[in-house]
């Protein structure tokens, strides 16, 4: 199974950005975790991060065209980007939305994700382990 692990704005700053919220693990460590987990599960995993909304939308279009599964941390775009939500709605494969922090325990504007309504499932508040769990879930679906 082909899986895109896609990350939105500011996630490339993991390890230096708000370590009290997001932890001290770097983005490079997150990429390694996803690639290692995917390999262990027999998944073909590609991990990407962008601060450009149009680039994320293009990657979602690619995943839709391929029928690939997606693990998506839309970051701030979760809360207001109808364009990202609409691109997610085009996916033919499963979509697992992941948030490192518990968005429901943070500022009120973060409590709602426009992406969640079109996601297969949502994992939030489990730190980087949410990515690992999402990949395990997708592997189980393909098995």
Q: Is 101 annotated as a binding residue?
A: yes
**Predicted local confidence at residue 106, as pLDDT:** 72
Q: Does the annotation mark 22 as catalytic?
A: yes
**Predicted local confidence at residue 17, as pLDDT:** 73
Which of 4, 27, 99, 131 is an active site residue?
A: 99
31-65 pLDDT, tens digit per residue, is 999 999 999 999 999 999 999 999 999 999 999 99
Q: Quote the DSSP letter at residue 90.
A: T
Q: Is 73 annotated as a binding residue?
A: yes
Q: Does the annotation mark 99 as catalytic?
A: yes
Q: Percent of the chain, pLDDT > 90?
A: 80
Which CATH number applies to 2-142: 1.10.3080.10, 3.40.50.970, 3.30.1130.10, 3.40.50.9100?
3.40.50.9100
At residue 87, does pLDDT exceed 90? yes
At residue 20, does pLDDT exceed 90? no
At residue 143, does pLDDT exceed 80? no
Residue 97 and residue 121 in contact, taking contact as beta carbons nearer than 8 Å = yes
At residue 22, does pLDDT exceed 70? no
Residue 45 and residue 102: Cα distance in Å, rounded?
25
């Amino acid at each position: 199974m082909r899986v895109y692990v896609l990350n939105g704005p500011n996630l490339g700053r993991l390890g230096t950005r708000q370590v009290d919220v997001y932890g001290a693990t770097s983005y490079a460590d997150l990429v390694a975790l996803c690639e290692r987990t995917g390999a262990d599960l027999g998944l073909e995993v590609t991990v990407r991060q962008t601060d450009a909304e149009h680039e994320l939308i293009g990657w979602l279009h690619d995943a839709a065209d391929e029928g690939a599964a997606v693990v998506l941390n839309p970051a701030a775009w979760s809360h207001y980007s109808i364009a990202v939500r609409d691109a997610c709605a085009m996916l033919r494969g499963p979509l697992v939305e992941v948030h490192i922090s518990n968005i429901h325990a943070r500022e009120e504007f973060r409590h709602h994700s426009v992406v969640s309504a079109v996601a297969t499932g949502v994992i939030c508040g489990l730190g980087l382990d949410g990515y690992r769990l999402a990949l395990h879930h997708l592997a189980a679906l393909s098995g």
